[in-house]
Structure 1
């Protein structure tokens, strides 16, 4: 079996989530935040690169598809779990992130079930938009942990409290993005679910 470059990139991304977790366990902040930001952004970039290379040079393989999907889920889910601790397990953060994780696991399970029936779900534009929004949101949230100890006019602006709350402008922006990510993620999951029902109905009719 030949291990292609896209597969190698997926394997690297597979361990990126664990590296971020280890960073928060072993390093003080903001060093852990810096590591998380650099590793996550790098991993997110490889996610787009490996897909492009695989399609461009006809290097798509079943192993690559499986590893790519698993790596994406591990990276994103670990990042979301860490972000929950950013907000001290605030219920307004646990809820959207919980919905995101539920959707990711549910659709992964649904894909496996459909595969056992020789059916498949094609990746949609909405799902790609969901992935991009999640990547941007997670990256900005890790970045927010870095600027807490920063200085300068931009940092001062981003860390000023929003009127009537103890939440900073940067934190509020991240919270809004987290909720938008949750809404987009659930919507794309619902679209996949409806498509899956149609596929199963067609197969049963046949």
Structure 2
């Protein structure tokens, strides 16, 4: 393997994928959410840099071309697994996540089956937008976890009447319950909208890859 900077960034992104899940094993929340969010955003940024640098410095390699989509898929799949595992299993979250996970597995299997002819399934601009929406949605959903747990820490020991009084403006909001609730609600909504858009783009690109592969799947007589 050629250890140039683009390839190193790709490998670091690949290693960051399981590290996102490990954060929740060794850190309590919301610190785990913070670490996972920062790690995921940093890895997502390198996704743009490694490709840009490889093209700009003419350092594109076969191993980098192979590892780059694997790192992207690993980041998305593991992050979604973590988010769903720590969520309330809302169908509004589970359904788009299922579409994304199914497509990634399906296309990976399709590429493996096609072997040398998999080069016909080139990454399209729409597929790149799909990845951008996926990573943005996941980052926003991790941010929701941060707001949610800071809010939970702030209301710990309060009864519902006190919480409602503070949120209604009847009591002074010393702990900032209002902005924490606002942040939690809006990152949750934005994250779901972005995830549904990502799921729609994921389904469209998955169908496009399948359509292009059909001629290579026909039985020979």
TM range (shorter): 0.7 to 0.9
Aligned residues: 194
Q: Does 1:195 align with 2:212?
A: yes
Larger Rg: 2
C-alpha separation between the residues in 1 aligned to 2:201 and 2:118?
28
Alpha-carbon distance, 1:186 to partner: 0.6
Q: Cα deviations across residues 49-103 of structure 1 (Å, max 9, x unaligned)?
A: 0001111111111111111122111111000101112322233322221110110
The alpha-carbon distance between structure 1 residues 110 and 91, as it changes in their structure 2 partners (threshold 3 A), is same
Q: Which residue of 1 aligns with 2:36?
A: 36
Checking the alignment, whether the CA contact within 8 Å between 2:147 and 2:181 is kept in structure 1 is: no
C-alpha separation between the residues in 1 aligned to 2:118 and 2:18?
33
SS of 2:120's partner is coil
TM-score normalised per structure 2:
0.80
Alpha-carbon distance, 1:25 to partner: 1.2
Q: Which residue of 2 aligns with 1:99?
A: 99
Q: Does 1:186 align with 2:211?
A: no
1:37-76 correspondence to structure 2 within 5 Å: 37-76=37-76
Alpha-carbon distance, 1:118 to partner: 6.3
Instruction: Tell me the C-alpha RMSD between the 2 structures.
Output: 2.1
TM-score normalised per structure 1:
0.85
SS of 2:58's partner is coil
Q: Cα deviations across residues 155-200 of structure 1 (Å, max 9, x unaligned)?
A: 34334xxxxxxxx3432332222222111111111112112225x3
Q: Does 1:77 align with 2:77?
A: yes
Q: Cα deviations across residues 22-61 of structure 1 (Å, max 9, x unaligned)?
A: 1111111100000011000000000110001111111111
Q: Which residue of 1 aligns with 2:180?
A: 155
Gaps spanning 5+ residues in structure 2: where?
152-175
Checking the alignment, whether the CA contact within 8 Å between 1:14 and 1:75 is kept in structure 2 is: yes
Runs of 4+ in 1 over 6 A off after TM superposition: none
Q: Which residue of 1 aligns with 2:8?
A: 8
Gaps spanning 5+ residues in structure 1: where?
160-167
SS of 1:39's partner is helix
